[in-house]
Structure 1
Amino acid sequence: MSWSGLLQCTAMEKNGRTVISDSYYEGAMKMIRPIYLHPSQPTIYLIHVGGGYVDGDRYKTEIMLQEGAHLIATTQSATKIYKTIKEPVQQYTLFSLDDQSVLEFFPDPVIAYEKAQFYQETTVYMKESSTFIYGDIITPGWSESGELFRYDWFRSKLKLYYEGNLLLFDHLYLEPSTGLTGILRMEGYTHFGSLFVISPFITKDILQKFERMAASFPASAHLGWSTPIIPGLIVRVLAYETYVIETIFQMIHQFIREECLREEPVFLRKY
């Protein structure tokens, strides 16, 4: 199977520090040298060199963390999905987390422009002792008419295998032609964000602290949260602007790093 872009990366713990032990990329996908925003935890930036995703593009990313590795990942810029005439754009991402590893992944928003069709599938394999933190934001792109939600459809699936068992399956499907702005849909909001934290550190005490902290989130957003059957936290955010969701995600990310990982916060945005 041919890919418009392919990226593979493996992180390992070595002498108390996480290093990238192996990496490979081809096509439109690239990865810059790791930046150590934290002395022992590398941050990698995933780059799409084509400027945007177009008709029929297929992308695959695989990131593997060996035992004890701690990796932070983000993207260089937003994922822009342009008009798709014949075939939808497809993006597949695979994460594999070994024992006591930690992955923090906060890509820039996905922007779906007029007539865009986008399928995204994220698969996670993790151990009971590992930690997975992932934030995803979807925004409507510019259209010639000036109207919002001019993309055809957006589908995103997250499958999380916990100790080999599929214990979390999240499926988001947005199709503006079916009345996206109504009740039990976007309800007048324009931007949507999902944040997943699956970790043995998410305890009842942490959840109570999070509930108190949630009172300080921007009032312009509408937020809800729940807990899966495994130790974790799932947060959904509706807002009118991207930076509002990013602000909330940054607050939650900082909270998790401080309260669960006992680490100082990191700032991943480029602007």
Structure 2
Amino acid sequence: MSETGLLNLEVKNRNSRTMIHGYYEGAFKYTRPVRLDDDSLSVYLIHVGGGYVDGDTYGSTIKLEEGAELAVTSQASTKVYKSPSKPVEQRTTIQLGAESVLEYYLDPLILYKGAKFIQETTVEMEHNSSFFYSDIITPGWSEDGSNFQYDWMRNKLKVYQNGKLVLFDHLLLEPDDELEGVLQLEGHTHVGSFIIFHPKASREFGEWLYESVIGAHPHVRIGISNMEDNGVVVRILDNRTQTMERIISHIHTFARKELLGKGEISWRKY
């Protein structure tokens, strides 16, 4: 095995029952599926090494067949430490069959001093399948209390619907004197994203979502973009991980209710 950690999940819907098969190797694994409520079967991703270090590579594949539903989260934050020689790389491939639903809801990514990190996620989905994706990027603690001690991070998300590229989201953070300036982080330290693809994720839905978030969090820096193919991209800027987590949870709960007809999910991690 060339990767530091390797993981594969295949999810099927058989006679209204969700069947999960898969395997893992190295420092990457997943828990047995758990049902956190009547509607949601969930899997927790676990890194058994405590953090990502110089030259680590991780690969994961998640495949949902027609009609299958799954919620995926991580057990804890992903921590990336000093990478003096080679960046840490994490590559994820997701395949979603017709009318399948994947909620991909990960804990924050924490980048410590000297970290270099590449994350690439590729999603291939049908036009009538659904995909929720969230991430939070935060600088790690430093001894002198200064922010942005990591070297750089590159986050690429590509989404294909019926073979057509409908979203290419490329976020590059490379700390310099202008990172906190206008058109970059505008004085903030944390970046959050929530991306939704669903047949009912219309422009009107995006407007309702914006009003709901601003109503509950009036001081947050947030932007929402609508895509032609029933998709919504949310970007959030703030200075506290806890605030970002509350907003991401708010968006997730709103989308679950309005698009999936489901209630708030309780991950029960701590």
Same fold per superposition (TM over 0.5): yes
Q: Are residues 1:8 and 2:5 paired?
A: no
Match of 2:155 in 1: 156
Q: Could you list the per-position Cα deviations for residues 214-261 of structure 1 after superposition, in whole angstroms to 9, with x for gaps in the alignment?
A: 332323421110112210111000011111111111111111111111
Query: Residues 118 and 154 of structure 1 are in contact (CA less than 8 Å); yes or no, is this contact kept in structure 2?
Result: yes
Query: Residues 19 and 42 of structure 1 are in contact (CA less than 8 Å); yes or no, is this contact kept in structure 2?
Result: no
What is the alpha-carbon distance in structure 2 between the residues aligned to residue 220 and residue 193 of structure 1? 15
Match of 1:235 in 2: 234
What is the alpha-carbon distance in structure 2 between the residues aligned to residue 269 and residue 181 of structure 1? 34
What is the alpha-carbon distance in structure 2 between the residues aligned to residue 206 and residue 84 of structure 1? 41
Q: Could you list the per-position Cα deviations for residues 77-99 of structure 1 after superposition, in whole angstroms to 9, with x for gaps in the alignment?
A: 11100000100000001110000
My pick for the range that moved more, 11-20 or 203-212, is 203-212
Q: 1:204 to 1:119 in 2, by over 3 A?
A: closer
What is the alpha-carbon distance in structure 1 between the residues aligned to residue 128 and residue 188 of structure 2? 37
CA RMSD of aligned residues (A): 1.4
| 1:193 positional shift | 0.3
Match of 2:175 in 1: 176
Match of 1:202 in 2: 201
| 1:204 positional shift | 3.9
| 1:41 positional shift | 3.0
Please give the residue correspondences for 1:67-106 in structure 2 after superposition, counting only pairs within 5 Å. 67-106=66-105
Match of 2:43 in 1: 44
SS at 2:49's partner residue?
Answer: coil
What is the alpha-carbon distance in structure 1 between the residues aligned to residue 210 and residue 265 of structure 2? 22
Match of 1:59 in 2: 58
SS at 2:246's partner residue?
Answer: helix
Q: Could you list the per-position Cα deviations for residues 186-236 of structure 1 after superposition, in whole angstroms to 9, with x for gaps in the alignment?
A: 111111101100110213442342233133232342111011221011100
| 1:40 positional shift | 4.6
Q: Could you list the per-position Cα deviations for residues 75-122 of structure 1 after superposition, in whole angstroms to 9, with x for gaps in the alignment?
A: 011110000010000000111000000000111000000000000000
Taking structure 2 as the reference length, the TM-score comes to 0.96
SS at 2:269's partner residue?
Answer: coil
What is the alpha-carbon distance in structure 2 between the residues aligned to residue 161 and residue 86 of structure 1? 33
Query: Residues 152 and 176 of structure 1 are in contact (CA less than 8 Å); yes or no, is this contact kept in structure 2?
Result: yes
Q: Percent identity?
A: 46
What is the alpha-carbon distance in structure 2 between the residues aligned to residue 58 and residue 150 of structure 1? 22
What is the alpha-carbon distance in structure 2 between the residues aligned to residue 232 and residue 85 of structure 1? 38
What is the alpha-carbon distance in structure 2 between the residues aligned to residue 144 and residue 215 of structure 1? 35
Query: Residues 18 and 41 of structure 1 are in contact (CA less than 8 Å); yes or no, is this contact kept in structure 2?
Result: no
Uncovered stretches (5+) of structure 2, i.e. residues with no partner: none
Q: Are residues 1:18 and 2:42 paired?
A: no
Match of 1:131 in 2: 130
Match of 2:223 in 1: 224
What is the alpha-carbon distance in structure 1 between the residues aligned to residue 202 and residue 94 of structure 2? 24
- For 2:15, give the aligned amino acid: N
SS at 1:104's partner residue?
Answer: strand
What is the alpha-carbon distance in structure 2 between the residues aligned to residue 146 and residue 81 of structure 1? 18
| 1:267 positional shift | 2.2
Q: Could you list the per-position Cα deviations for residues 160-199 of structure 1 after superposition, in whole angstroms to 9, with x for gaps in the alignment?
A: 1110111210100000025211111111111110110011
Query: Residues 96 and 126 of structure 2 are in contact (CA less than 8 Å); yes or no, is this contact kept in structure 1?
Result: yes
SS at 2:123's partner residue?
Answer: strand
What is the alpha-carbon distance in structure 1 between the residues aligned to residue 265 and residue 197 of structure 2? 19
What is the alpha-carbon distance in structure 2 between the residues aligned to residue 115 and residue 243 of structure 1? 24
SS at 1:233's partner residue?
Answer: strand
Taking structure 1 as the reference length, the TM-score comes to 0.96
